[in-house]
Homo-oligomer: A and B are copies of this chain.
Amino acid sequence: MPKILIVGGVAGGASAAARARRLSEDAQIIMFERGGFVSFANCGLPYHIGGEIEDRDKLLLQTPQSFLARFNVDVRVMSEVTSIDREQKKVNVRNLADGSEYQESYDKLLLSPGAAPLVPPIPGIDNPLTHSLRNIADMDKIIRNLESKQVKHATVVGGGFIGLEMMEAFHRRGIQTTLLELASQVMTPVDREMAGFAHAEIRQHGVDLRLETALSSVEYVTPSHIGSEESLADAGSHLELQLSNDEILTTDLLIMAVGVRPETRLAQEAGLKIGELGGIWTTADLKTSDPSIYAVGDAIEEQDFVTGQSTLVPLAGPANRQGRMAADNMLGRSETYQGTQGTAICKIFDLAVASTGKNEKQLEQQGIPYQKVYVHTASHASYYPGAETVSFKMLFDPVSGKILGAQAAGKEGIDKRIDVMAVAQRASMTVEQLQHLELTYAPPYGSAKDVINQAAFVASNIMKGDLTPIHFAEIASLSSEQLLLDVRNPAELKKMGYIEGALNIPVDELRSRMSELPKDKEIIVYCAVGLRGHVAYRQLVNSGYRARNLIGGYRTWSFAQKTS
């Protein structure tokens, strides 16, 4: 009858508790949670603030009572584990309701403390109108502020998942919103040119998006005749934000969402090994450096699926699956965690932006050789109503063709395409093999040659030497030995714009007008998305020209410009 203690009652901890009970009816299981709620839907918090999820109770998936009834788990909320005595195999617990403390022994201990919002030490940041969002209490506080005072303008700092979701929540409530992002893009899991689709979507909804802009200091301004700094903001108060570009921004509410850091204090003070990235070090079977103590979720460092190196991935999916696996291992099995790809998706108004594996920035940083392709093609048969463009980027090993990562943006079918890539990557498939994928097709759902097949065709063409690519970033530095050729129809250039200096010969006229092109220059072909460009490219090289095709065409090039 093993005694299992679990620190943290949300994703990883709650999964572990339930699984442990299913494996053993007689294990003693106690789950400690510092907050007032267990197993709540932390990913749903912004959507309740925005009003999409109307009923707050829907976020409370389990209660201590329901956990006890179903799983016979002793759930103790408002209970903080303050220290671990590894020698005695005991933890010290503080009851936050009455301040009392006690000890509890364990055979196995699981740490699932999560990660805390990072709040940089910006002058004035500690004020009643500034919030971060991690749990139900944070959410309730934000909603109280929204309801108690007239919030006409809100500012979100940080363009990650939570920042973007909070931006949308405010927009849904009719609040003018500014989004500040230090980097030149939101959504760091994708590369900058793919984030361009997000930038366009955000600005189209009237949000004041400011990239490469930092928050320097905050001033809490409260009407002089009231003047106080209580935890609930005064009715007439607001904030003056000093920005890195010296502008002053007046706002009624500030959300700090610049990232999270693993909660490692407890582990660290107990002398458990901390990884080089600052997360709790774990083995593949989710043990810490103490074999009686396991750790899962946002607090741990885990292995990156692609590089094999340590990584911090604060996402719900891995946390839940790790919790289940840690329970197995605490009860004597030997499951091993297979590494994290970092598959992620974010809804940004009508757009979805998603990715899996490594992005180009990471591959460059780590010196991993790669090639890439872009395709922009319909989410389902274009002749069937409702098709939307899927903008898709795939990164692969230029020699083996192995998939390194994928990113996508669009209004339909984005989750599906990244899921397909996540599976293919996990199975170590190559772009050659992706050509053969047989995906669901009927006009409302897909195409006979799906986005993924098409991307694989382009990648295989490159690998076989049937296509010499040029990428959007190289267009700015073409030499006089190169000639830019736009093979779209003149009406498209007029409507969509074109790249300065391009010669225009529509693809369907190219055969008869090829003599207009100089044989001594390299012809840089482009069309809207790369498809007609490839047809033109093949005509040219098969006719003795040197040529390259702009991968992803004008669409990739133009969205890559959407920073500033």
Which residues does A use to contact B, with CB under 8 Å? 11, 18, 21-26, 41, 43-44, 47, 52-53, 58-59, 61, 66, 69-72, 161, 305, 315-321, 324, 337-338, 340-347, 352, 354, 356, 381, 383-385, 414-416, 418-420, 422-424, 426-429, 433, 435-446, 448-450, 453, 457, 466, 507-509, 511, 532, 534-535, 538-539, 542-543
Contact = CB atoms under 8 A, between A and B. Distances in A.
Contacts of A538: 21-23, 25
Query: What number of copies of this chain does the assembly contain?
Result: 2
A418 B66 CA distance: 34
B426 A384 contact: no
A422 B438 contact: yes
Contacts of A341: 438
A240 B337 CA distance: 65
Given A25-B539, A542-B26, A448 B316 contact: yes
B443 A47 contact: yes
Interface centre among A70, A347, A448, A532 (most CB of B within 10 A): A448
Contacts of A414: 440
A66 B506 CA distance: 13
A436 to B, nearest CB: 4
A56 to B, nearest CB: 10
A223 to B, nearest CB: 39
Contacts of A337: 436
Contacts of A58: 383
A407 to B, nearest CB: 12
Interface centre among A44, A317, A534 (most CB of B within 10 A): A317
B420 A542 contact: no
B345 A535 contact: no
B445 A43 contact: no
A443 B507 CA distance: 44
A338 B53 CA distance: 46
A385 B427 contact: no
Contacts of A59: 383
Contact of A43 (B24, B41, B442): B442
Query: Lowest 4 CB-CB distances: which A-B pairs, in order?
Result: A427-B427, A25-B542, A69-B508, A345-B440
A510 to B, nearest CB: 9
Contacts of A18: 535
Given A25-B542, A384-B47, A445 B320 contact: no
Contacts of A305: 438
A435 B25 contact: no
Interface centre among A161, A316, A436 (most CB of B within 10 A): A436
A445 B347 contact: yes
22 contacts: A18-B535, A22-B538, A26-B542, A43-B381, A44-B383, A53-B384, A61-B383, A305-B438, A316-B441, A317-B441, A317-B448, A318-B438, A321-B453, A341-B438, A343-B441, A344-B442, A345-B441, A415-B446, A416-B419, A418-B440, A419-B440, A422-B437
A195 to B, nearest CB: 17
Contacts of A442: 43, 161, 344-347
Nearest to A15: B449
Contacts of A53: 383-385
Contacts of A448: 11, 43, 316-317, 319-320
Contacts of A415: 416, 439-440, 445-446
